[in-house]
Chain A
Amino acid sequence: AQSVTQLDSHVSVSEGTPVLLRCNYSSSYSPSLFWYVQHPNKGLQLLLKYTSAATLVKGINGFEAEFKKSETSFHLTKPSAHMSDAAEYFCVVSDTWSGNTPLVFGKGTRLSVIA
């Protein structure tokens, strides 16, 4: 069975400094991995996805993540934080990109951005 562990429940950064949100996964197969963002009272939005193509994945709003199979990690980064990045971020794993395999979510990391 697949699972994800988000290593930090809360991360606080200053505006303009780098962001690092950490995620480790466990999967029996070659996984598909995702990062979703959730702003208060808003729906979940897909930031980026890894589906066995390039290991460095670029997403929206300047975010990117690197799939490292040897470390079973899929950390999310951004070079320079913006106030609008403050939100809840979820690392997500699925055994396949298609079909009815449900997405398995981590518990989330709350990102605070300080002016």
Chain B
Amino acid sequence: GAGVSQSPRYKVAKRGQDVALRCDPISGHVSLFWYQQALGQGPEFLTYFQNEAQLDKSGLPSDRFFAERPEGSVSTLKIQRTQQEDSAVYLCASRSTGAGELFFGEGSRLTVL
């Protein structure tokens, strides 16, 4: 596609519900990153994929967070048993090789009530 596409753009969940956020990277991009941006803060790293391999998940805040990219293209970030502190914008970014500019999607805004 023309850019990184994320869905849903907005998600409201009740505390305790599971949510899944989808990222469609730019076609052919090898590297994919997930970031979490809390209100009024800069984005913080969550996890990184190279093709289908999850090479770094050190930023995932708890074992309730899980990310996958099974075919090396689309990625899904899943949050189980959502808590209010999970409310944030979740940003996905991709790039074509190990080097070069990161292209960001518009984000998925999650609100947990």
Contacts and interface: CB of A to CB of B under 8 A. Distances in A.
Contacts of B101: 46, 49
Contacts of B106: 41-43
Interface in B77-113: 91, 93, 97-107
A44 B95 CA distance: 14
A76 to B, nearest CB: 15
5 contacts: A97-B99, A98-B97, A100-B50, A102-B48, A105-B43
Interface majority SS (helix, strand, loop, mixed), chain A: loop
Interface of B: 3-4, 31, 33, 35, 40-45, 48, 50, 55-56, 59, 91, 93, 97-107
A82 B23 CA distance: 33
A31 interface: no
Interface string A75-115: 00000000000000010000001111011111110000000
Interface residues of A, number: 20
A36 B40 CA distance: 15
Given A41-B106, A44-B104, A100 B42 contact: no
Contacts of B99: 97-99
A43 B42 contact: no
A89 to B, nearest CB: 10
Contacts of B107: 43
